[in-house]
Structure formats: structure tokens, C-alpha cells
Structure 1
Amino acid sequence: MEARASELVARERSGHAALVEGKFLYVWGGYVAVGDDEVFLPSDEIWLYDIESGVWGTHRMHGQIPPPMSGTCSCCLDGMMYIFGGCDDHGHTNQLYCVNLLDGKYTWRKKNNAKGSPPSPRDKLSCWVHNDRLIYFGGYGHKRLREINNSRSFIVDEASWVEEVFWGWNNEVHVFDCRTNNWSEPSTRGLAPAPRAAHASATVGSKGYVCGGRVMETRRSDIHCLDLDSWTWTEIIPTSSVPIGRSWHTLTAVSDSALFLFGGLSVNCEPLSDAWIFNIHMREWREMNHQHKNKPRLWHTACLGQESDVIVFGGSQDYILLVDKGHCNDALVFQTQPYSLHRLCEDYIGRNTEMLQGQLSLLPTKLLQTIQKRISFFTFATKSQEKRDVM
């Protein structure tokens, strides 16, 4: 990496893009408050977080670099990071960019020559990945009067229209086929979710799930499923109590049958720190006990790590539309499944390195390298916590 040190940490931010590829969490873009201004973070750099060691590094980026922006929708397919939409200094956009995360060059390419019609400009949308296709849903953005064909798929924000340009929420489904470089808009069946933005989504097999989000002036916790082969919508009615309505939260698939929900902004505009597991087969929500109850987050990112860990990065701990001073840069790790015996042993040694220091040299080289990363992880976590306690 061009810069790498245990003291180096990605800057605090909200509305950024993040994903896990291999053993690294990649973080790009977003914005932060500087005084009374909202400042987009540089788009020519990408941050890497080593999941095993907790060490941050950064790389410069090249090529057709996207403008600095927030609210983009990111996903990963075959080592390629794709970002679509978002909001920059000129407003909402509907451009698609990609960058190879595996070749070490970090060169952006803008998908200029795609066939078909891309979605209208928007941000705060979501994406599913299935069969080499990027499938985008919802978001908040603008259309011209002639582009509004169906009031059930686009709800106008009455407070935000100017002449023939209308802003609002949508529930459209758009597909980008990475093999054919083609945009399409499939016709769906069933009852689609209400138009929304700042919702959360996750992919499990051939099913795309969407949960909650802002629907006009309210926030919901409903959950819907789209069959990504037949394009059929189904609303899932839980058999248990449900989380309160929210937006700017995250939803992460942690197994073939479980989705992990964390944080967001409540109906009363309160930042949330609760975590829930949704059992897909049982249609049942279960609130999860965790160690980050004092760390509410909204407009953060959440990615699946090793052994069903969920890594939450960044976001705000305050209602950003009113305060905008609470952006974060810590990585919160949530354990959603029991660890393997091997992982438990690694973590025990990492936490108790002083007691076991004299025996570490006896370990095989490869195992020693892994243990050294876990020692680094827990050492860095302890120092970071001590620094926050002093502040």
C-alpha cells in the first residue's frame, strides 16, 4: 500500500461506499462536516482495512475518476467494485463506474457506452447482485414531467419541484448486465413495495430483500422479497414483533436463512443502535444483544466479514440533517454466529499475548503470521478505546 501504519485510520464519514473483497474492507467517498459546510471526501483515494489485523492503509486511484460524492450505491462482482448514482456538487447523478480491486492499479473506468437506458439520477438507492447482473432498486432523485409514467412507481416530493423537474421517491427495478454492458428495466409481478429511499437491502441466493426506509414523510420496517429470476414481489409478514420504523440503516445477509439489521434513524428522528436478526424461513425477528449499544449509527455501511461477522464502518451518531457533527470512523464488529474453535483460539492468544509471549516462537510460520495479525487487531482496538475514553 502507498501508506500503511497502525496509527493510520480512514477519516470519519457518512454516505460512503464500502465492501469486503478477500480479507479487506474497502472504503470510498462519502462526506463529512467541516464547520457549517458539508465537504465531499476525495474520490482519488481508496481506504483498505485489514479485517484480521485491524490495520488501515490507503491507495491513490487513477483513470476516469468519479467526482467526489455521497449516497452512491456500491457492490462487488468478480473483484470489480461498481458504484452507481449518488449526489455531487452538481446534484444527483446516474453514472456507473467500476474499478478492479485485485490488480493493484486501482484504475477507474466510466461505463460510457452501455446500451439501453440507465435509471434517472438518484441517490440513497440499493443493489442486489445475481447472475452477473447488478439490480438496482428505489432511491430519491429527479425526473422531468415527461419521464413520470406511473404515479405508483414515483411519488413526487411536493416540497421540491422546480418548473418541469420533479424530485421524489421511486420503487423502480433497473438491471445492468455486466456481460452484455446493457441496461434494462424488467416488468415485475406481485405487489411492489411503496416508493422509498434510504432503505436497506440484501441478497440471499436468487432472492433480493428490502427492508424499511423513508416512504414520503414516514419511516418503515416492512420487509419485501423480489425473486430475481421471475421478477415477482412478495411482502413478508413477520410472525413476531418487529423493529421500529427507520431509514439510513443496513441489512446484511449472514447465512442462507438470516439477515442482520443494524442502526438507522427512527420515525422520531432518533439515531438507533439496536441490532436484529431476521430468520427468513421462520419469518421471525429477534433482537440481538451486542456490545455497541452506546454507539448509534445512521448512513453507515455494513459488510459481511469472516465467520459471519458484520463490519460496520463510519456513519453518523447524530441526526445529520440537524446536527451534522457526529460522523464516525471506527469499525464495529458484530458476531452473529458462534465462532469455530480455531477462531476462538486465535482470538484468545491475540488478547493474552503477554501471558503467552514466550511460546509464540514455537508456532508454525503460517500460523504465527495469523496470530500476529490478531495481536495487532486487539492491540489497536485497545489503544483506540483508550483514546476515545480520554476524549
Structure 2
Amino acid sequence: MDSELVARERSGHTAVVEGDLLHVWGGYLSIADEEVFLPNNEIWVYDLERGAWEVFPMSGEVPPSMSGTCGCSLNGHLYIFGGCDHNGQTNEIYCVNLTDGKYTWRKIRHEIGSPPSPRDKLSCWVYNESIIYFGGYGRKLLTNVDRRNRSFIVDEASWMEDVLWGWNNEVHVFDAVKSCWSEPQTHGRAPAPRAAHASAAVGCRGYVCGGRVMETRTSDIHCLDFQTWTWSEIIPVSASPVGRSWHTLTAVSDGGLFLFGGLSVECKPMSDGWLLDVETKNWREVEHPYKNKPRLWHTASPGKDSDVIVFGGSCDSILLVDTGHCNDALVFQTQPYPLFRICEDFIAMNLMNCETLRDQLHLLPPKLLTAVQTRMSFYRPSKKQRY
């Protein structure tokens, strides 16, 4: 494998972690003031232990090249729904097995129910073999829009004859076992319709944070109980992050959510990181080594030992400039590492500069020796790409 191979810069892509591998698909970048979709028939895989990229061809019922799709991992498969391609928003769903090495796409035909209307910049949660989708920006036929129903807010600037575009706060469920769609009746006060928000699930609850609500960006937090389908709003007891969109929210513990980046109300790219304790309702800003790396429309995936792996995104205001797309993987440590991880990293990091460590390497327990030998390539001095 070419150790210097690196995935192309991109924003609005999909990324999930399966085992020690980060899988990246789709998205777009800017070339000569034009938005160019990345190839749809390839998937980039980053080995988080060795720090090396590899690219694989994809076959089967390949989805169109697009950005803003909603992706998640379920039972070793990547599922994507929605997104925006050259023809506008879509409401199709595809999946691909990430574990068999074949990377063959399959377009899913539902047996029961109706899919959500075409949309992008939505979010989802995985719960009990189902994928629960929330919100997004997209189009509906005029005949399907009830202006008295506040689940869909029309973007007045985009009204075209019998088609309306706008933001929604709908909840749709896709049962991956039965291949069927349903729209549960929710209770409580739902979040305002929005897109480019962030979400994460902890146990039987899904959390929504911020996003673009019509012409503003918010920092509100809402919780949906998947067992009762009841919405509730979380009112923080401490200082909160500023309003933003195109940020990420990642579950890092049984009661902790990690927020990173986004585009602020003032259209400023953000690089701050925050931890929310959902039980105490307390936000806490956290120090991290990437304060000089603002990101928006990036992806964030949970890794081992409560790590959060952020990939790609833009480092400038894509509404105004849209040139600073990124391709680095940033790993955020949100919890203390276990002793084995500390030992593994320390030895691998210092092996080349310590003769004593090199001479005693063979004395390590087999499991630790194997881990160190794999991890050594990550800290190889000649590597250009690090995080």
C-alpha cells in the first residue's frame, strides 16, 4: 500500500467507523468556483491504528454522486438516505456491506410505507434495528403542504409553481429488517423545523442540537424518547455554545455528548469543542489541540476509548468563499485512556528514539507486541499525514 495515499479534500460527505477503519464516501469540493461532486464509485478507508489510507472501487447499484446525504452504520453496513445530486434533493436509500471487502451497493426498495420527501442536510439515529431520520431541507409538492401545519416551513425565496422548498421537523423511521417506512406520532413540543443541525443517540433517546432554522442559527437542544416518541427540550444550567449550523454532535459515554465546530450566527467557522452532560444539563468547553483547525460540514464518528474522529469539512465560510475544503483526520480524546492504550502509544511513539525500548521489544506480551508493531507505522517519522 502507498503509505502517502490520502483521501481527497471534501465537505458534505458521509463517514462512519467500523472497527478500526474510517470509511469515507461522497461529498463535494470547489474547483474554479464550481461545486464538484466526488466520485460515487469509490470508498476511502483510513486505518486508525496504522494511520494509512486505502481506496477501493465500488460496484452494484451505485448511488449518484452527491453531498448532504445522511449516513449511518448498522450491523456492519453503511446506510445512506437523501442528499443532493445534480438533479436536486433525493429520497432514495442505499446500503453497502463494509465488512466483506466487496463494497457492493444495493438500492433498497421498501415493502411498506412511504419514504420522506426529498431532502438533504438531515440527521438520523440508530435504534433497535431501525434508522430514525429527523429534519432537513427539501422539496414538497404544493398539494402536500398544509400551511397551518408547522412541521414544514416554506422557504419563500424558492417557491416555484407547484413545488415548495423548506425546512421540516418530521420524524421518519426505516426498519432495516422489514425494509419498511413509518412516521410515528410524536408528543410534546417538537424542535422548530431545521437543517444542517447535529444529532446523536444515547440509549433510547435521541438528541438534536442547533442548526439552521429559517434565517438564523440556534444552539437549542431537544430530546426524543424512542419508546414513547415524546419530545422534550433541555435547558442548560451553564453557559452554552453559540448558535451554529453544519457542526457535529457525537455520543462519547452513557451520558455525554461532544460538540465540535460549525458555522456561527456571524458566519464564522468554529473550532471550539464542548461536552454536554445530558443528566446534569451542563455544558463544558474542552481544551483540544485543534483550535487552529475550524471545521464545518465535516463528519464526526465515535471511535474506540471514547475518541471522536473528525474528517474533512470546510475551514472557511462556504456561504461566502467555499474554497477551504480539508482532508485531515482529527482525533479528539474525550475520556482518559485505559492503561493498555497508554502503553501501546508510548512505546510506539518513542521506539525509534530509544535504544532500550528497541532492545526489549521482544519481551512484551504477545498482544501488546502485536498492537505496538501495528501502531509503529502511525508514528513513522517519514509520514506526511498525521492527526
Q: TM (normalized to structure 1)?
A: 0.95
- Counterpart amino acid of residue 105 in structure 1: K
- Counterpart amino acid of residue 357 in structure 1: R
1:129-178 CA distances to partner (integer Å, 9 max, x unpaired)? Answer: 11111100000001111111353100001111111111100000000111
Does the CA contact (< 8 Å) of 1:210 and 1:223 recur in 2?
A: yes
Q: Which moved more, 1:246-255 or 1:371-380?
A: 371-380
Other-structure match for 2:314: 316
1:365, distance to aligned residue in structure 2 (A) = 4.4
- Counterpart amino acid of residue 197 in structure 1: A
Percent identity for Structure 1 against Structure 2: 67
Other-structure match for 2:133: 136
1:364, distance to aligned residue in structure 2 (A) = 4.3
Other-structure match for 1:177: 175
* Inter-partner Cα distance in structure 2 for 1:381 and 1:109: 39
* Inter-partner Cα distance in structure 2 for 1:129 and 1:195: 21
Distance 1:44 1:216, change over 3 A: same
1:34, distance to aligned residue in structure 2 (A) = 1.1
SS at match of 1:67: coil
1:89-122 CA distances to partner (integer Å, 9 max, x unpaired)? Answer: 1110000000111111111010124321100000
1:22, distance to aligned residue in structure 2 (A) = 1.1
1:268-317 CA distances to partner (integer Å, 9 max, x unpaired)? Answer: 00000000000011000000011000000000000111100100000000
Does the CA contact (< 8 Å) of 2:66 and 2:86 recur in 1?
A: yes
Other-structure match for 2:145: 148
Other-structure match for 2:203: 205
SS at match of 2:385: helix
- Counterpart amino acid of residue 55 in structure 2: T
SS at match of 1:383: coil
1:372 maps to 2:373: yes
Other-structure match for 1:283: 281
* Inter-partner Cα distance in structure 2 for 1:307 and 1:219: 32
Q: 2:30 aligns with which of 22, 33, 40?
A: 33
* Inter-partner Cα distance in structure 2 for 1:116 and 1:65: 24
Q: Which moved more, 1:341-350 or 1:353-362?
A: 353-362
Other-structure match for 1:95: 92
Other-structure match for 2:252: 254
1:299 maps to 2:300: no
1:370, distance to aligned residue in structure 2 (A) = 1.2
* Inter-partner Cα distance in structure 2 for 1:380 and 1:63: 40
- Counterpart amino acid of residue 152 in structure 1: R
* Inter-partner Cα distance in structure 1 for 2:84 and 2:319: 15
Q: Any unmatched runs of 5+ in structure 1?
A: none
- Counterpart amino acid of residue 129 in structure 1: V
Does the CA contact (< 8 Å) of 2:3 and 2:383 recur in 1?
A: no
Q: TM (normalized to structure 2)?
A: 0.96
1:58 maps to 2:55: yes
1:74, distance to aligned residue in structure 2 (A) = 0.3
Q: Which moved more, 1:58-67 or 1:358-367?
A: 358-367
Does the CA contact (< 8 Å) of 1:6 and 1:380 recur in 2?
A: no
* Inter-partner Cα distance in structure 1 for 2:345 and 2:368: 13
Does the CA contact (< 8 Å) of 2:81 and 2:92 recur in 1?
A: yes
- Counterpart amino acid of residue 254 in structure 1: V
Q: Any unmatched runs of 5+ in structure 2?
A: none
- Counterpart amino acid of residue 384 in structure 1: Q
* Inter-partner Cα distance in structure 1 for 2:178 and 2:23: 27
* Inter-partner Cα distance in structure 1 for 2:4 and 2:308: 23
1:363, distance to aligned residue in structure 2 (A) = 3.0
Other-structure match for 1:48: 45
Aligned length: 383
Does the CA contact (< 8 Å) of 1:125 and 1:199 recur in 2?
A: yes
SS at match of 2:384: helix
Does the CA contact (< 8 Å) of 2:110 and 2:181 recur in 1?
A: no
RMSD of equivalent CA atoms: 1.4
Other-structure match for 2:364: 363
